[in-house]
Amino acid sequence: MERILRSLFLFLSTNKSMTMAAKKYGLRFGASRFVAGETLDLASVVIADLNRKGLAVTIDYLGEFIEEEQEARKMADECIEAIRMIGRNELDSQLSLKLTSMGLDVSERVAMNNMRRILAEAKAHKVFVTLDMEDFPRCQPTLDVFKSLKAEYNELGTVIQAYLYRTEKDIEELNEYHPNLRLVKGAYKESREVAFSEKKDVDENFKKIIKKHLLNGNYTAVATHDDKIIDYTRDLVKGEGIPQDQFEFQMLYGIRNEKQLELAKEGYKVRVYVPYGTDWYGYFMRRLAERPANIAFVLKGLFKK
């Protein structure tokens, strides 16, 4: 049943009609648990609150299915405003974004132009930027853009997904860039031709790339809510003598809040991924696909008076 539900919600996450309807009707159906609000002002309040609790943040202005250059430019403008807000309020926050929201599906030229505008602003305000990873067809284009921009801007990272067969090779090829990488299991529906289908295989590959990237001496963000992966990372860094400032744990806003605070109190760097904006539907569906408990929470919210 869990696999069926996961497939269903991943399928729904790519439905453009549902995405448009979600924009129209706002943050309902429990999405507000995982999304900080529809505006930058609302998101800034959430970031400040998390900082006061000892948690760092990466903020993401949600956007999918960007197919026009003008719309991509507006998305980039919002990212620039987010960077300025972080700098103005001296918040402990980075910026995450998807290249499709910057116009990658329009053309690489559009995406690169928008990224250079964003990164110039990020450099001025000393805000780190991460290129989120998307589905398999966009994996190589994302890494190509990352490599090109990394030569111009040092404060830039990207994401590697453990469920893809190609991942270990990607880690090896990226090593020459000494990259700051967010390592994740992966949240898109992929075919067995390109991705592991069994959880145990994904978990083993996840551990493998965590170890490889850390032992390469590169900064590693371990993005997971899985206690087994968290414990593996803690044991690994202790056993290998890896310094605390070479890695961090990352978790999603609204998921395992107590664990986030627990890790922070133990002295680990914990960064919370905080999304905001009206285009929340696809992100929300992927969160439902990840954990059945999230579905139960939403159903409970629908019938709560």
| pLDDT at residue 66 in the model | 86
What's the pLDDT tens digit per position in 179-229?
999 999 997 888 999 999 899 999 999 999 999 999 999 999 999 999 999
284 within some domain = no
Q: What's the pLDDT at 8?
A: 45
Q: Residue 29 domain-assigned?
A: no
Q: Tell me what pLDDT residue 211 has.
A: 98
Task: Tell me: is residue 286 an annotated ligand-binding position.
Answer: yes
Q: Is residue 20 part of a domain?
A: no
Total structural domains within the chain: 1
pLDDT for 282 equals 67
Residue 90 lies in a domain: yes
Which SS3 state, helix, strand or coil, does residue 258 take? helix
Is 169 one of the annotated binding-site residues?
no
Is residue 187 one of the residues assigned to a domain?
yes
**Beta bridge mates, 97:** 131
Which amino acid makes up residue 161? Answer: Q
pLDDT value, residue 38: 87
Residue 79 token pair = 């990212």
Where the chain has pLDDT below 50, the residues are: 1-2, 5, 8-9, 11-13, 21-22, 297-305
Share of the chain above pLDDT 70, in %: 81
Catalytic residues: 132, 182
Q: What is the CATH number of the domain that holds 253?
A: 3.20.20.220
Evaluate whether residue 290 is within a structural domain: no
144: nearest Cα among 155, 130, 163, 158: 158
Q: Give whole-number Cα distances, 2 to 8, 110, 288, in Å.
A: 10, 39, 11
Task: Classify residue 300: in a domain, yes or no.
Answer: no
Flag whether 70 is marked binding.
no
**Nearest of 190, 201, 279 to residue 209 by alpha carbon:** 201
- Structural domain for 75, as ranges: 36-279
Sign (positive or negative) of CA dihedral 196, 201, 203, 204: negative
How many DSSP H helices and E strands does the chain contain? 12, 8
Q: Does 6 belong to an annotated binding site?
A: no
Residue 186 assigned to a binding site: yes
- Say how far apart CA 146 and CA 68 lie, in whole Å: 22
Could you tell me how far CA 8 lies from the centroid of its own chain? 21
Q: What is the pTM of this model?
A: 0.86
The reply to whether 304 falls in a domain is no
Cα radius of gyration rounded to whole Å, the chain: 18
